[in-house]
Chain A
Amino acid sequence: AQSVAQPEDQVNVAEGNPLTVKCTYSVSGNPYLFWYVQYPNRGLQFLLKYITGDNLVKGSYGFEAEFNKSQTSFHLKKPSALVSDSALYFCAVTIGTGTYKYIFGTGTRLKVLA
């Protein structure tokens, strides 16, 4: 069965410092991986995705993520955090063999401290 794990419920980081939000996955085929951000009382906004190719994916608002097949991880990163990055972040996975199901992690709350 497909699954996604976000091991940290909350991550605190000082403004200007690099941030990492962790995600690991378990799938039976080749994964397609996604990151989303959610602000209070809003829907999920797409940040970036990994399909194939370069393991480092760049996305919106300066975020990037690194796909590591051997560690089955897809961690979200940003070189310099902003207070406005404080939000709930979700990792998601699907596989490419005709499935319509997307599996989401439980979310990680990022708090950037001024």
Chain B
Amino acid sequence: DGGITQSPKYLFRKEGQNVTLSCEQNLNHDAMYWYRQDPGQGLRLIYYSQIVNDFQKGDIAEGYSVSREKKESFPLTVTSAQKNPTAFYLCASTRGGGSGNTIYFGEGSWLTVV
């Protein structure tokens, strides 16, 4: 089945540690996104990528980094510079910008600082 796979579902980070969340899609979508969701809040855009080897900062990019070496993959690294990383992280993808393309989501990953 086509879809977006995020892993791991649950991840624990120690202080000062970098962690990487995986996101893979087999929908042949050009654009991919990372959102952060905090309890009781909406979705905030961290980074997005329109095409391989290109990405742009979203509204809350500080303390995060991404890469887009393959069309199917858009991993997110939460660095030690992110002081409050505990949240639910959602990866998403669309066919492309404009034309009202539907954005589809993965099942999310929980990151907790211990």
Contacts and interface: CB of A to CB of B under 8 A. Distances in A.
A105 B44 CA distance: 10
Contact of B43 (A34, A42, A45, A104): A104
**Which range holds the interface residue count of chain A?**
20 to 34
B105 A44 contact: yes
B102 A49 contact: yes
Contacts of A43: 4, 6, 90, 105-108
Interface of B: 4, 6, 31, 33, 35, 41-43, 45, 48, 50, 56, 88, 90, 92, 94, 96-100, 102-108, 110
Contacts of B43: 44, 90, 104
* SS of A interface (majority): loop
A46 B100 contact: no
A41 B10 CA distance: 10
A96 B50 contact: no
Interface of A: 32, 34, 36, 41-46, 49, 51, 90, 92, 94, 96-102, 104-107
A89 to B, nearest CB: 11
Contacts of A97: 98
19 contacts: A34-B103, A41-B110, A43-B108, A49-B100, A51-B99, A96-B98, A96-B100, A97-B98, A98-B98, A99-B97, A99-B98, A100-B31, A100-B94, A100-B96, A104-B35, A104-B42, A104-B43, A105-B42, A107-B41
